[in-house]
Structure 1
Amino acid sequence: MAPRSSSPSSSNPSYASDEQESTYLTRTRILHQIRLGIAILILAVAAAVVGCEGAPLYHYNQTASFERLWLTLWPLNLDVRQTNALLACGSVIAFQALVYIIVALLPSPHPRTKPLNFLATITAGAGLVTAVVGVIFAVYLPSATYPSGFTQNETIHSWTCKWRTLEANNVTGQDGRPLHAPAGFSRDCIETRVGFVLLGLLIGIEAIMGAASAAGWFLERTVSKQRRVEQVELGKN
């Protein structure tokens, strides 16, 4: 029978064989690197969502007051909750990913296999829920209210993209001149569209993170079972 060894991945003595422990440690290290890479990807995509939604919202805040100068760029039925929701969801997901990355990279004299499994599971679950809720809210905009005379609202995305479409199709106004989108509207249309797509992409990435977390628990359960079997065999001898 192979000699027993104490695994550096657990605070309790190991009763699995050296070969089993070595395989477990190797797979754990690989899984740790995979989850860290996924977390970095989530942070990058979430930061991109924040950037894509933050810029149009800033442009709106800077130009909304132009109506005081009789230069109305935005409709009365504009609803900015879609942009605010995507911006908030991106910020929350980015923060969660950053927390995981920091904890995973912090040096520690003690093994943190189970705590990292737990943190990865919580982060993936919370991120997935946040992304799904954000996408659903952005699509349906529940509890929307309309100003008098309107039956629906415009969002920063829908309004800017309407102008971009009119300009692209060379639509003319009543004076026969081609309509041109106000400055920045084309960029705002593209950025808000990209922000929404990226938040949808985060749903898939968070699901992958959840699968990686489940793999961590599976490895932990497998090696724990092997240790119990070896302990029983050791007791018999």
Structure 2
Amino acid sequence: MTSNSSVAGSGRAYSSDMEEATFLKRNRAIHFSRIALSFLNFAIAIAVVACEAPPLRHYKDTSQWAPAGLALWPLNFDLRPTIAAISCGSIITVLNLVYIAAALMPSPHPRIKQLNIYASASALAGFVTALVAVLFMIYRPSSNHPAGFNTNETLHSWTCKWKAGTNGTAIPRHFDRDCMNTRAGFILICILIGMEMLMGLLAAVGTWFQRDVSRRREQQFQLEKLEIASKHAYHQ
């Protein structure tokens, strides 16, 4: 009886060790995948800011010419989509930078649960931020325009309208560059939506594995307690 119990206990221990090894292998793969994805999101978010900042600077530098009769920008101009894009890029940059620092920081403890929680929160915040930025750039809620205008112009719409050509009129300086930059910024933010969704998926998978192994550990602990109690009762 004692021999059979020892064999059974040895089998459970071996099975538990295999499960732990599998969990650690999977968690390591998810961990490095999330770090790589965070670096990619960080780079894309920086690119969004780099694309949207020059058109904004160009606008600020040239809008001061309007009092002198050299107005390049219409009266129905809305700068908020550009500001929303830059804000989105900045927020996602910070979120991913913090995650990278936390994931790469040396620690005597694995911090698996904490990293899963932050990865989930970071992915959700990044996804919402990018989605709001895209919707704001498309629909421009609470947009007001002067009397005589039906819609507002943005940095993207106005510069691209000139780039397309207006009855042979020469394109103002840097308008072609601003058109391409704002278009690229919008596309990159759309890409960020998909990337943050992928980050959220990896966070969800990591959380599921962590909870599953925690449940198995609890079951193993309860079995060991039962076995110890049975042995104690047998010897008595």
| TM superposition shift of 1:135 | 0.7
Task: Return 107-116 or 222-231, whichever deviates more.
Answer: 222-231
Instruction: Give the distance between the partners of 2:126 and 2:47, measured in 1 at CA.
Output: 15
Report how far residue 65 of structure 1 moved.
1.1
1:50 alignment partner in structure 2? 49
Q: How does 1:83-94 map to 2 (within 5 A)?
A: 83-94=82-93
What's 2:208 paired with? Answer: 218
AA aligned to 2:193 is: I
Question: What displacement does 1:233 show?
Answer: 2.7
Unaligned 5+ residue runs, structure 2? 1-9, 228-236
CA distance in 2, matches of 1:3, 1:114: 25
The correspondence of residues 139-150 of structure 1 with structure 2, limited to 5 A, is 139-150=138-149
Give the RMSD, CA atoms, in angstroms. 1.5
Equivalent position to 1:184, from 165, 174, 194? 174
For residue 38 of structure 1, give the secondary structure of its aligned residue in structure 2: helix
Percent of aligned pairs with the same amino acid: 45
Superimposed CA distance per residue, residues 15-69 of structure 1 (whole angstroms, 9 cap, x where no aligned partner): x711111111111111100000111111111111111111100110011112233
8 Å CA contact retained: 1:2, 1:18: no
Q: Distance in 2 between matches of 1:224 and 1:2?
A: 20
Alignment of 1:168-179 (within 5 A): 172=167, 178-179=168-169
Q: Which amino acid aligns with 2:73?
A: W
Distance 2:104 2:54 in 1: 31
SS at match of 1:150: coil
CA distance in structure 1 between the aligned counterparts of 2:214 and 2:34, rounded to whole angstroms: 21
**Cα drift, residue 224 of structure 1:** 1.3
Whole-angstrom CA distance in 1 between matches of 2:119 and 2:97? 12
Report the Cα distance in structure 2 between the residues aligned to 1:152 and 1:17, rounded to whole angstroms: 65
- Which residues of structure 1 form unaligned runs of 5+? 6-15, 173-177
Q: 1:17 aligns to what SS in structure 2?
A: helix
Distance apart, 1:215 and its partner CA: 0.6
Match of residue 232 from structure 1 = 222
Q: Aligned residue for 2:96?
A: 97
Quote the Cα distance in structure 2 between the aligned partners of 1:228 and 1:105: 29
- Measured against aligned partners, the alpha-carbon deviations of 1:82-141 in whole angstroms (never above 9, x if no partner) come to 101111111111111111011111111122100000000000001111111111111110
Equivalent residues in 2 for 1:1-237 (5 A)?
Answer: 1-2=10-11, 4=13, 17-166=16-165, 172=167, 178-237=168-227
- Supply the distance in 1 between the matched residues of 2:13 and 2:54 (Cα, whole angstroms): 59
* Inter-partner Cα distance in structure 1 for 2:200 and 2:19: 25
Larger Rg: 2
Could you say what secondary structure the match of 1:148 adopts?
A: coil
Please give the alpha-carbon distance, in whole angstroms, between the structure 2 residues aligned to 1:180 and 1:164.
Answer: 9
What's the offset of the Cα at 1:225? 2.0
CA distance in 2, matches of 1:66, 1:229: 74
State the alpha-carbon separation in 2 of the partners of residues 125 and 4 from structure 1: 39
> 1:46, 1:90 within 8 Å by CA — same for their partners in 2?
yes
Task: Name the structure where helix makes up a greater proportion of residues.
Answer: 2
